[in-house]
Amino acid sequence: MLHSRGKTKPVHPLTKSEELAEFIGILLGDGSVYVNHKHSIYSIRIASSYADERAYAEYIFALMRRVFGTKPRWGEFKKRCFYVCLDRLEAVNALMSVGVFPGNKKANQVRMPTWILENETYLRACLRGLFDTDGSVYRLSNKDPHLLRISFSSAIPALRDEVIPSLQKLGIPCSKPIHRNVFITRKSAITRYCNEIGFRNQKHLMRIRKLSSVV
Reduce the DSSP state of residue 60 to 3 states and report it: helix
97, pLDDT greater than 80: yes
Mean pLDDT of 16-39: 95
Q: For the chain, how many residues are written? A: 215
CB within 8 A of 6, min separation 6: which ones? Answer: 40
Rounded Cα–Cα distance for residues 149 and 53 (Å): 20
> Which pLDDT does position 49 carry in this prediction?
73
* E strands present in 31-79: 31-36, 41-48, 73-78
Q: Render pLDDT for 36-63 as a digit per residue (tens, 0 to 9).
A: 988 888 999 999 875 667 889 999 999 9
What the chain holds in terms of domains, given with CATH numbers, is 18-110 (3.10.28.10), 124-211 (3.10.28.10)
4, pLDDT greater than 70: no
C-beta pairs of 117-123 under 8 Å, 24+ apart in sequence: 117/162, 117/166, 119/16, 120/169, 120/170, 121/18, 121/21, 122/16, 122/17, 122/18, 122/21, 123/21, 123/166, 123/169, 123/170
Asked if 172 contacts 66 with a C-beta cutoff of 8 angstroms, the reply is: no
> Which pLDDT does position 52 carry in this prediction?
66
> Which pLDDT does position 215 carry in this prediction?
46
pLDDT band at 93 (very low <50, low <70, confident <90, very high): very high
> Which pLDDT does position 83 carry in this prediction?
87
Q: Render pLDDT for 121-159 as a digit per residue (tens, 0 to 9).
A: 999 999 999 999 999 999 887 776 677 899 999 999 999
DSSP one-letter code for 213: S
